[in-house]
Structure 1
């Protein structure tokens, strides 16, 4: 038994020194192969435009102005026209009114105040060329229709 033990020690010692020993299994450290790269497709987020408005008070007047800009953003010019576009277009008829929005990509409306029939707003109009036009002013609403506006470009 002592002779077998000595032989094992000699063989292990020899293996540890890097001297090959024929016929004796030597443990070998095996490095696992790197995992195969996996392609993960991350879908692009769907563009959700900002809300058309931010309203401080929920009044019928504010809702009318918000509905007007919602219709414009949906390119539903007939609805916008009926909500008061016909009264604030400044003449020229429906076709000229619609053509006036040809370079507007999206409107963002902020209702800043409502006093009676007057709705105070700030309007940010993103243009199709990437620029933005900013306006502020008021809309006057009567009977669920915009009957007047006083808007001025600020940027």
Structure 2
């Protein structure tokens, strides 16, 4: 199918899938907690929140797509295009994560003291999401998988 056909076939995709799942789980917590702020009268218009969500939504999409790609590889599919989809989505999620972090910082700086601790927990979850994503990326690199360079590779 592609030059490294044998190599990809004999590699265990389970650790990659696990790390991507962990990243997605942390992202779920970021989404749930930060979205809750829209439903609390004191935080519904918190500065930075809307901007942060403008990047959180595509970051989530890219994580979901990376997880789905890893699942397909674990299930035995071997197309190089699946690997390319996964790596592009990891890079795209990383790009969006930077803006999510910036938005969370603005939210923390503008929140009333009653909500700062809550936002700090969201920030910790975001750090977890990024950490697991990076671990998956490094594990893929150790398998010989290359990553696209630059900013967002594709706008899907």
Relative to the length of structure 1, the TM-score reads: 0.26
Task: Output the TM-score relative to the length of structure 2.
Answer: 0.26
More strand by share: 1
Which is bigger in relative contact order (C-alpha 8 A, separation at least 6)?
2
Q: When you count helix as a share of all residues, which structure comes out higher?
A: 2
